[in-house]
Amino acid sequence: MARSDGSGRDGTTRARLVAAAVLAAACPLLALLFSQPNLQASLFPGYRRLSKSLMAALATVASVAPFAIWDWLTVGLVATAIATLVRRMCRHQRILPWLSMVALIAAATAFLGTAGWALNHYAPELSQDLGLEVGQYSEDQLASATSYYLDQAAARASLVPREDDGTLSRQDFYELARIAGASYAPLAQRYEVFSGSTAPVKSLLLFGEPLLYSGHTGIFWAATGESSVPLDTATAELPFTMCHEAAHRLGIASEEEANFSAFLACTASDDVRFSYSGYYSAFNYCVNALVAEDPERAQQLVSDALAGENGAGVALVLQDRATTQEHYQAFEGPFEDVGTTVNDTYLRSFGEKAGVRSYGLVVDYLLAWLDA
């Protein structure tokens, strides 16, 4: 029989708070442990294999729905928390038991995300797994790579389904999601690092537009193993973005490495929608870097390509680039600065010193791939 003086409930509340504190404290301690260079060799690749297995199991469970479960679950938990808090306040009940449960759920989610996946930020560089030598590059090398990736995209531009005015036709999101989910299977036969879950990428139904307003086009939620992308992601980038988020599920946490992985997955695909998206994205990264280095040279390079024998294809690539920029302009605003700051802080907390700038460092990988 439970005691009537309330000490049993107090004991439960204390236990929750202690468990929450332990789980919360474990997150930075694990990050500190895995950040030690002298320990990383012994911790990986064992940790990555365990992480992949856990993410694959979670993704399999979550695959019962074609849309992301985590955003619905988050909204449900928040609504439940608010409702129970209001009820307690109306009944003049103590708030601490409620607070202890909220703290425990939040800490458990953070611990699962950190221990189960986020420590992959400290894994050895992907270049080691691929046998690539990534280093500094000259402006000439950058210009040459930009021209190459533009040519490859232009060669495929007319093969992608388009409307009468040349704009890309919107494709079945869930068909692309299934292809993207399994896109690394061919690469895994050559590189073990790409082995893992082949579950479809998920659509974001609740948080899709808020994510776009925050300046992001996809998210991997480790607590449910879901790689998810907004339905309103720009058509030209959609396959590439899906493959980027699928790469995270395989334990490739670095943003630049997930981008390069997406390029490899897309360009290895037999589906022209994916191969075009891969080369189109590679061109965008390279030309943006070239514009930052030498705007006049970038403009001349594009002008020469337009005047070349594949000028019609180049024109389609540039049209897709303009359409994509226009598409995302509708989501620009002050919330984007907040989202960028949050993501920058997260990346830096796990050792990605370049923060959000790491998205552009994929150029180094793209150049190294051409030299391999």
Q: Is the peptide bond before 45 cis (omega within 30 degrees of 0)?
A: yes
Query: What pLDDT does residue 142 have?
Result: 92
pLDDT at site 359 = 37
pLDDT of amino acid 215: 86
**pLDDT score of 356:** 34
What is the per-residue pLDDT for 106?
A: 95
Residues 6+ apart with CB under 8 A from 354: 347, 361
Dist CA 230 CA 68 (whole Å): 10
- pLDDT tens digit at each of 372 positions of the chain: 344 444 567 889 999 999 999 999 999 999 999 999 988 889 988 999 999 999 999 999 999 999 999 999 999 999 999 999 999 999 999 999 999 999 999 999 999 999 999 999 999 999 999 999 988 888 899 999 999 999 999 999 999 999 999 999 999 999 999 999 999 999 999 999 999 999 999 999 999 999 999 888 999 999 999 999 999 999 999 999 999 999 999 999 999 999 999 999 999 999 999 999 999 999 999 999 999 989 999 999 999 999 999 999 999 999 999 999 999 998 876 544 444 454 455 445 444 554 433 334 799 999 999 987
pLDDT at 334: 59
Round to whole Å and give the CA distance between 253 and 245.
10
- Give the integer Cα–Cα distance in Å for 124 and 28: 20
